[in-house]
Structure 1
Amino acid sequence: MQITASTVSLTVADVAASQRFFTTHLGYVEQAAAEGFASLTRDDAAVDLVLLARGNEVLPADQRDQHASGLILAFTGTGIDKEEQRLRAEGVEITMPLREEPWGERLFQITDPNGVIVQFVEWVTPTAPEYA
């Protein structure tokens, strides 16, 4: 099998709210949508997203009432300082401010209206000698 794309399916309470968040602030565009469903994509290497409403019958019965929790949707790139500034200027709450870990990971987080955590990561030269 050759994988041609990757998609994460998130079960959320309010599909429209998450769809607006990802299209307004994170550059996603709608591929398809229907009642309780939205498929979103970007033109770069970001994973595609499918948003499904809780209780949607397309989900297996034992998964219909679950919520996208315990998941961090992480995007790795460059220039995250400017990305954090842009999101702040747009009124997006930064739920974990930009920080740098000693092993060379710079990151910050935002959270969508349904509690989906989105993390932005940029790798730099580690500052701690044990990670260099």
Structure 2
Amino acid sequence: MRVTGTAVSLTVRDPSASSRFLQEHFGFREAMAADGFASLTRDDVGVHVVLLVEGMPTLPEAQRVPVSGGLILAFEVEDLEGELARLQAEGVAITMPLTVEEWGERAFQVQDPNGVVVQLVDWAAAA
């Protein structure tokens, strides 16, 4: 198998709201969009975020309902404290403060308008 790209597909109530949030605060741009659908990308990372409206009839029935519990959309960044300060200055509510785990993960979280958890993370040397 040769993987040529990757995407995370999220079913949400309002794809446009999540799309605007990811564009405004995380530098994504819409590569494609239609009623109830948006595909977002960044030029510096090989991942797409696909947003689908709940109830979309093209999805299998079990996937038509938003499920965000336990899902974390994580982005590894170079300047975690700088990103935290930037998002706070932009008025984004921090829903999990900057934490440091014993295995070396440092992270904080925000939520988009649909409740999708977005986590920014970096890796410190493990203690």
TM category, shorter = over 0.9
> Which residue does 2:39 correspond to in 1?
39
Two-structure CA RMSD over aligned residues (Å): 1.3
SS at match of 2:49: strand
Helix, strand or coil for the counterpart of 2:17? Answer: helix
| Counterpart position of 2:116 | 116
Q: How many residue pairs get matched?
A: 127
* 4+ residue runs over 3 A deviation: none
Larger radius of gyration: 1
2:51, 2:66 → 1: CA distance? 13
Secondary structure of 1:18's match?
helix
Structure 2 alignment gaps of length 5 or more: none
> Is the strand fraction higher in 1 or 2?
2
Match of 2:76 in 1: 76
Q: Percent identity?
A: 54
Unaligned runs of 5+ in 1: 128-132
Q: TM-score, normalised by structure 2?
A: 0.93
Kindly tell me: are residues 20 and 45 of structure 1, through their superposed partners in 2, closer, same or farther at Cα, counting changes over 3 Å?
A: same
Match of 1:80, as an amino acid? Answer: L
Pair 1:73–1:42, CA change in 2 (3 A): same
Offset at 1:102? 2.5
- Separation of aligned partners in 1, 2:46 and 2:107: 17
Q: Matches of 1:117 and 1:29 in 2, distance apart? A: 19
TM-score, normalisation: structure 1: 0.90
Q: CA deviation at 1:120?
A: 1.0
Q: Are residues 1:102 and 2:102 paired?
A: yes
Structure 1 stretch 22-31 or stretch 66-75: which is displaced more?
66-75
